[in-house]
A and B are shown apart, each in its own frame.
Chain A
Amino acid sequence: MRKQSLSFPPVSIRLSGDMILTSLVWVATALVVGMFLWLLGDLLFHGFNRLSLAFLTDAPQNSGREGGIGSILVSTLLILGVALLATLPLGLGTAVYLSEFSANKTGGKTTRLIRMSLNMLAGVPSIVFGLFGNALFCIWLGMGFSIWSGGLTLACMMLPLFISTTEAGLSAVPDEWRQGAAALGLSHASALWHVLLPAAAPAITAGLMLSIGRALAETAALIFTSGYVDRMPESLSDSGRALSVHIYDMSMNVTGGDETAYGSALVLIAMLVLISSIAVSLTNRFLAQRITPS
């Protein structure tokens, strides 16, 4: 430590600056983890009694205060599935377009239009999306209250988030990699698949996790599109209650539904862990294993 040149500040000051940052960083993280544990603890305290295997498979009874959430879980997964089916190709496509084909980094007219559209979409309140989804999917396209309507509306909401993070990830890949790939004779499409997307994998994963989280957490938009019916959906054009809508109904609307609300919240969190683990491992398998960024 004493070998530094004279232009560096003396050891004692440098060490304490380092120590301040270190402690700040630890404290910040501890605060965040602490808040999470506090929240989780509250949920466990109120909802743990309700949890059981039967809770996960039975149909709701007595307005959801008894029985389980089996049909609701199925509806939720179907809605999420539809949303991802729409978001992934559209999101990846747009992100690739924005990062690879814009005339320069800030883009020409089309790029600017698209970017502006995305930002505006991100700013629409979720309840407005619910009304929009209702008007477009339920009424105009005639899908009625259905899982299709809910999933597609969710996709509209997830897109800005997913596209932003994916594009940021792709833009962060240094240009030399693109030049190197071109020098090797790879086509753009090939370079994307083998080099660029794998390099952007952490960002894509982050975006995916955030989007899935956002989708599962969304309530207001789904009330108006996939609806309130708590029956087991027989097809994608059936109305189905999403888990977040169920939590809302149990905690805010039905008297005596608190325990079910907290229990359902715990199940939702567990679902999120499961789905994100699968998403992360899939992304790693198909993308990141080809390139390790650091």
Chain B
Amino acid sequence: MKYIHSICFALAVLMMGSAFADTQKLVLTGSSTVAPLALEIGKRFEQRNPGVRVDVQTGGSTRGVNDARTGLADIGMASRALKSDEGDLTSYRIAMDGIGIILHRDNPVHELSDGQIRAIYTGKITNWKSLGGTDQKITVVNKAAGRSTLELFLHHFKLNNREVRPHVIIGDNQQGIKTVAGNVGAIGYVSIGTAEYEQTYGTPIRLLGMNGVAATVDNVREAHFPLSRPLNLVSTGAPNPLAQQFISFAQSQAVDDLVTAQYFVPSAR
């Protein structure tokens, strides 16, 4: 009997614990791409502003936008620009992310023109030998619908998703990288920063340049590379003061090292 009483008491204390804390809380939800970056920025923000807690949750860019709108979150995270029907919100860019095409390292093909890429993705070319490579079936890796990476890719190559003939559809960057790394005939597209990292660490992939511009993080920062997407914090027109403070912090140079640590590109200032 005694045990039950002490357990109940402990539970009650645990439950009430947060009620007594004198902290301000900031809630961010949205894109899982931005989440790790937002988490680290949040930790640094907490260090500089004791008594503040920054909670980051995921759920997707669309959820981030909706939660910012309804007030379920103070700030939303989106790995894309705001759409036309999201005009009631304001976006604050905190980083850039380039998108590059990757092949398997052992694939002898070293560059592809836009037209060739289009032909590969619509299924008109099915074997690497037509492109000067080995006799290997091409495995087309495409991103799942709804992702901004896919939409940017399609927009750049003037494709419609219905025209694409993929063999594998992936969800996250890492899935894309691991798929291409495990298949000599594969071609896919992922975040340039991530691909650069993996290349350095020996994963058997290779980034392809586009239109003669090498796919590097530097080229993305200097806007030489044609394919990139913004990583944004979004909020309604009048965010509360704490949220405003956080947004300014996230856009400042004080977090540039955090941005590069995630293999993203700090926005040019």
Q: Report which A residues bind B (CB closer than 8 A).
A: 62-64, 145, 223-224, 227-231, 234-239, 249, 251-256
Query: With A253-B33, A255-B193 in contact, do A230 and B39 touch (Cβ < 8 Å)?
Result: yes
Encoded as 1 (CB less than 8 Å from any A CB) or 0, chain B from 174 to 216 comes to 1100000000000000010110011001000000000000000
Q: Are B57 and A235 in contact (CB under 8 A)?
A: no
Write out the residue numbers on chain B whose beta carbons fall within 8 Å of the beta carbon of A239: 55, 57
B99 proximal to A (CB < 8 A): no
Q: Are A252 and B193 in contact, with the CB atoms below 8 A? A: no
B1-45 with Cβ < 8 A to chain A: 11, 14-18, 21, 32-33, 35-37, 39-40
B40's nearest neighbour on chain A, judged by CB, is A63
Please report the total number of B residues contacting A with Cβ < 8 Å.
34
**Closest beta carbon of chain B to A245's beta carbon, Å:** 9
A235 partner, pick from B15, B32, B53, B59, beta carbons under 8 A: B15
Query: Beyond A63-B36, A253-B35, A253-B174, is A235–B262 a contact (Cβ under 8 Å)?
Result: no
Q: Are A238 and B18 in contact (CB under 8 A)?
A: yes
Contact call A235/B174, Cβ cutoff below 8 A = no
Interface-central residue, A64, A229, A251, by most chain B CB under 10 Å = A229
**Given the complex of chains A and B, what is the CA–CA distance between A278 and B147 in angstroms?**
44
Who on chain A is nearest to B18 by CB?
A235
Knowing A145-B55, A145-B57, A229-B56 are in contact, say whether A253-B17 is a contact too (CB < 8 A).
no
Q: What are 29 sample pairs from A and B whose C-beta atoms fall under 8 A apart?
A: A62-B261, A63-B36, A63-B262, A227-B57, A228-B35, A229-B39, A229-B55, A229-B57, A230-B39, A234-B17, A234-B18, A235-B14, A235-B15, A235-B16, A235-B18, A236-B14, A237-B15, A238-B18, A249-B32, A249-B36, A252-B171, A253-B32, A253-B33, A255-B173, A255-B174, A255-B194, A255-B262, A256-B197, A256-B263
For the complex with contacts A62-B40, A229-B39, A253-B35, 19 further pairs of A-B residues with Cβ separation under 8 Å are A63-B37, A63-B261, A145-B57, A223-B59, A228-B56, A229-B56, A234-B17, A235-B18, A236-B11, A236-B14, A237-B17, A249-B36, A251-B174, A253-B36, A253-B173, A254-B36, A255-B173, A255-B174, A255-B263
A252 touches B172 (CB 8 A): yes
Please report the C-alpha to C-alpha distance between residue A252 and residue B191 in the assembled complex, in whole angstroms.
13
**A148 nearest CB neighbor, chain B only:** B15
Interface residue? B148 (CB, 8 A): no
CB distance from A110 to the nearest CB of B (A): 31
Interface of A is mostly: loop
The number of residue pairs between A and B whose CB atoms lie closer than 8 Å in the complex comes to 72
Q: Quote the shortest CB–CB distance from A161 to chain B (angstroms).
A: 26
Q: Does B58 contact A (CB under 8 A)?
A: yes
Min CB–CB distance B178 → chain A (angstroms): 9
Do residues B175 and A252 form an inter-chain contact, with CB atoms below 8 A?
Answer: yes
Kindly identify which residue among A224, A231, A255 contacts B197, using a CB–CB cutoff of 8 Å. A255
Q: Quick one: closest A residue to B201, CB to CB?
A: A256
* C-alpha gap A231/B41 in the complex (Å): 14
Are B18 and A237 touching (Cβ within 8 A)? yes
A56 vs B21: C-alpha distance when bound (angstroms): 27
Residue among B171, B175, B191, B261 with the most chain A CB within 10 A?
B261
Chain A hits for B263, CB < 8 A: 255-256
